[in-house]
Amino acid sequence: MTAIIAVSAVALATIGLGAWGVRLARTTSDLFVASRAVTPWWNAAAISGEYLSAASFLGIAGLHMRIGAAALWLPLGFTAGYLALLLFVAAPLRRYGSYTIPDFAEARLTSAHIRTLAAVIVLAIGAMYLVPQLKGAGLTLGEVTGAPYWLGIAIVAAIVAGNVGLGGMRGITYVQAFQYWVKTFAIAVPACILLIHLGGLPERAALFGRELPTAGASGLVVQLDDSQRVEFPRATSYTLDGRLQRARAGEKRELQGRLVLPPGATVPVADGTTAKSGAEWTEPVSPGGDASPVFVYSLLIATFLGTMGLPHILVRFYTNPDGPAARRTTVRVLGMLGLFYLFPAVYGLLGRALVPELYVTGATDVVVLRLPEAAWPGTGGELLGALVAAGAFAAFMSTASGLLVSVAGTLSFDLWGRRERTAVQRRRAFRVAALGGMVVPAVLALGARGLDISLLVGWAFAVAASTFCPLLLLGIWWTRLTTSGAAAGMVAGGLVATGCILCGLAVGDGSGEVLGSLLAQPAALSVPLAFATMVGVSLRGRRRVDSRAQMLALHGPEGLGLEELGFGRRVT
Amino acid sequence: MRARPAREELAETTAVGEIYLRRLIRAQLSLSLTALLSFGGVFAGLPLALWLAPGVDDIVIFGVPLPLLVLCVAVFPILIAVGLLYERRANALDEAFRELVGGPEDR
């Protein structure tokens, strides 16, 4: 009940702030001028607020619980992505005045075709990155209220599409900044309070020692409504719907009904999860499986280089007044993300000790939501659980809103809205696109119930890293990039990354360590390929456009008064 | 004859202006690459180090194994420090360039 109130409060606050923001944006004669008043602290909170998604709030802790410390490379890569952005992209792109990647591609390469290609890739990444947000919403609402999976998806999709369609989320820096603090508070406070309540980390043997996850001192009861295939890592007895049974070590069984494990019994794990001892589980890198060095490096490349290519990231830099402010903001984003990412691992650790039933059901993605009440039965746990659920909803809504703004903008402006001349027509096209852009991800999310959040997120990052990252880096720093080079590189990178992941899904686990790792996270392969294609094709073509003026717009510092000398900085 | 102000050369993208600008871009790029390498050394070496270093799993601080602490806590201050240092140096390069070519206030 408390949780429903907390979640509704966050949803209502989002709608309310959105509606208030509409009025704010209208009374300001020029949104651009208004946004110059936003300080780097507010801006950094807004960027972080939009970035911390379902994958960060639920996914990291869930993956940590399932595969162990190897999952903790994710937050490092997510944060380091902003360092790449700071070093190579933030200030030049801010000076250039392009706020979306299709915009940048068209202006830098003076070609409308490359804009269309970039727009298509934005749509693909945006839609795929929306799916995990909606899936998270369905899971969370089901977990908190017992509502069916589709209801959470429908509610969040409707709120976000409505809000964005009415223009509420556009340029509303303060809403996103507020969401950052909601999320950080909602993940940090329960983690700290639970650690104090428990007096530190419990069950050290299962966490860091030789033990597999066990049923605890009072046994474990799991209600399996659907048939679940599990593997018993050790021999144990159990009762299923009251009948006593025994399983041998390594045996696989289909279970359905009320499963009761005796105190201290080793917990069976769902298909697709490997039972690991505490010591194995704590290793950030280990040969084989989901923590192999190849996989870790590929994941680091994807997140480090992919962040700058996500459709909703660069738009936010629009609110910075100039290049130095863009740099300052990005450094603060590093700090704010670092603060948030201290906490998901706490849920992974406590979850392994206190909610081992998630290993049986395989639904480790809900560990953040399930943990407070399991660790602290009673009112305290219920309040903390409500807080966490509210934070999770803030995460889905802020990221989904940012993504949908990009997707709808791309749909309505880049792909078919260019014929519509008047502002009214353009606004109508944007609204229709906001509604339409939500339908496809929502349908996909309904079908993606069994799919891991981390898989979809990994795909989005891999594609972003192998298409937009080379486009941005070479476009900003290399004068000889040509249109055909950029197009060939993006197509090659995007296709190889997508192809690998589809192959990986088709082949399953039986493809060997190195190959299997690359199929699951192809960035280590597709990113160098995309760069090589872009450079190779560009060098082979004729050197055409004179890019000196472009380079000056990208790299010329502010305060030179170049504008008054007749040099036009691109202004949108 | 008075020499043309450098900023006019820049705005008209003359050969002289291009040399100025190219020098700035080179300097900025090598700064970024230096920052990338200094952080990338840590970033890229960490998985290997944690994988290969013997006994690193057995070091326990405040009841938590060292690899976990490194991964969850220690990397973030390094990231922020690299970012801060880079920001200062990059702004200084821009400032030096402004002084070189002269802003509108020098007229």
pLDDT in tens, A223-245: 888 888 888 888 888 888 888 88
**pLDDT mean over B10-29:** 78
Residue-wise pLDDT tens digits, B47-75: 878 777 767 777 777 777 888 888 888 88
Q: How far is A19 from A26, CA to CA, in rounded Å?
A: 11
What does the mean pLDDT of chain A come to? 83
| CA distance, residue B36 to nearest chain A CA (Å) | 8
> How many independent structural domains does chain B possess?
1
Q: What is the DSSP pairing of strand B64-65 with strand B60-61?
A: antiparallel
Of A280, A298, A331, which marks where a domain is finished?
Answer: A280
Other CB atoms within a 10 A radius of the CB of residue A546 amount to 10
Q: Residue A122: which pLDDT band, with cuts at 50, 70 and 90?
A: very high
pLDDT greater at residue A291 or residue B85: B85
State whether A488 and A544 are in the same domain: yes
Q: Which has the closest alpha carbon to A467: A488, A481, A482? A: A488
Q: Is A42 within the bounds of a domain? A: yes
Residues A354 and A493 in one domain: yes
Angstrom distances, CA of residue A279 to CA of A390, A391, A480: 34, 31, 51
Q: Across the interface, do A76 and B95 touch by the CB < 8 Å criterion?
A: no
pLDDT at position A339: 94
State how far the Cα of A427 lies from the Cα of A307, in Å rounded to an integer.
29
Point out the residue among A83, A84, A284 whose CB comes nearest to the CB of B47.
A284
Residue A169: is its pLDDT beyond 60?
A: no
- The verdict on A171 and A99 lying in the same domain is yes
Would residue A556 count as lying in a domain? no
Q: Tell whether A335 is covered by a domain.
A: yes
Whether residue A556 and residue B77 make contact (CB cut-off 8 A), yes or no, is no
Residue B73 covered by a domain: yes
Q: Residue B76: list chain A partners with CB under 8 A.
A: 79, 334, 338, 341-342
Co-location of A188 and A265 in the same domain: no
Rounded Cα distance between A333 and B79, Å, is 11
Question: Residue A212: pLDDT above 70?
Answer: yes
DSSP A276-344: --HHHHH-SS-SSGGG-HHHHHHHHHHHHHHGGGSTTTGGGGGGSSSHHHHHHHHHHHHHHHHHHTTSH
Whether pLDDT at A206 is above 80: no
Evaluate whether A71 touches A60 at the Cβ level (below 8 Å): yes
Cβ pairs A/B, distance under 8 A: 145
pLDDT at site A84: 93
Q: What is the ipTM of this complex?
A: 0.86
Q: What chain B residue is nearest to A281 in terms of C-alpha separation?
A: B68
What would the two tokens of residue A337 be? 């993300």
The pLDDT assigned to A31 comes to 43
CB A285 within 8 A of CB A291: yes
Q: Which residue(s) pair with A247 in the sheet?
A: A236
CB contact under 8 A, A565 and B79: no
Yes or no, beta carbons of B50 and A566 under 8 Å apart: no
Alpha carbon separation from A435 to A12, A118, A156, A161, A441 (Å, rounded): 20, 21, 12, 6, 11
Q: What's the rounded mean pLDDT across residues A460-479?
A: 92
Q: How many domains does chain A have?
A: 2
**Helix, strand and coil in chain A, % to nearest 5:** 70, 5, 25
Q: Does A561 reside within a domain?
A: no
Q: What is the pLDDT of residues A406-417, one digit of tens each?
A: 888 888 877 765
Q: Is residue A557 part of a domain?
A: no
Q: Are residues A17 and A145 in the same domain?
A: yes
Q: Are A315 and A405 in contact, with CB atoms under 8 Å apart?
A: yes
Are A186 and A208 contained in the same domain? no
Task: Tell whether B83 is covered by a domain.
Answer: yes
Residue A497 lies in a domain: yes
Each residue of A438-450: pLDDT tens digit?
998 999 888 877 7
Residue A536 predicted with pLDDT over 50:
yes
Amino acid (1-letter code) at residue A307: T
Range of the domain at A491: 2-200+281-550
Which of B7, B63, B91 faces A200 most closely, judged by CB atoms?
A: B63
Looking at chain B, which residue has its C-alpha nearest residue A68? B68
Residue A170 has pLDDT above 60, yes or no: no
Q: How do residues A334-386 score in pLDDT, each as one tens digit?
A: 999 999 999 999 999 999 888 888 888 888 888 999 899 888 888 888 889 88
Q: Which residue of A has its CA nearest to B85?
A: A331
**Domain-located, residue B102:** yes
Question: Per the CB < 8 Å rule, is A331 touching B94?
Answer: no
Q: What is the pLDDT of residues A291-342, one digit of tens each?
A: 788 888 888 899 999 999 898 888 777 777 788 888 999 999 999 999 999 9
Is B63 domain-assigned?
yes
Token digits for A53? 């998604």
Q: Do A393 and A337 have their domain in common?
A: yes
Residue A567 included in any domain: no
Give backbone dihedrals phi and psi of A202, rounded to 5 degrees, phi first: -85, 170
Query: Could you say which of A84, A293, A328 has the minimum Cβ distance to residue B47?
Result: A293
Nearest to A331 among B13, B71, B80 (CB): B80
CA–CA separation, A391 and A397 (whole Å): 10
Same domain, A302 and A265: no
Which of A91, A208, A548 is opposite residue B65, by nearest beta carbon? A208
Whether residues B7 and A555 touch (CB distance < 8 A) is answered with: no
Give me the sheet containing A243-247, strands edge to edge.
A243-247, A236-240, A251-261, A220-232, A269-270
CATH number at residue A56: 1.20.1730.10
SS (H, E, C) A35-84: HCCCCHHHHHHHHHHHHCCHHHHHHHHHHHHHHCHHHHHHHHHHHHHHHH
Q: Both A426 and A379 in a single domain?
A: yes
Residues A179 and A211 in one domain: no
Query: Do A43 and A124 fall into the same domain?
Result: yes
Q: Is residue A375 part of a domain?
A: yes
What's the pLDDT at A85? 92
Question: In this model, does residue A572 exceed pLDDT 70?
Answer: no
Contact between chains at A338 and B13 (C-beta distance less than 8 A): no
DSSP character at residue A211: P
Please give the share of chain A, as a percent, with pLDDT higher than 90.
22
Is residue A222 classed as helix, strand or coil in its secondary structure? strand
- Residue B80 structural domain: 29-106
pLDDT tens digits, A4-59: 888 888 878 877 776 666 666 554 334 443 445 677 888 899 899 989 988 889 88
Contact between B98 and A559 using a beta-carbon 8 Å cutoff: yes
Contact in structure between A461 and A306 (CB atoms under 8 Å)? yes
CA–CA separation, A116 and A127 (whole Å): 17
A123 and A237 together in one domain: no
Give a yes or no: residue B1 inside a domain.
no
State how far the Cα of A4 lies from the Cα of A137, in Å rounded to an integer.
Answer: 13
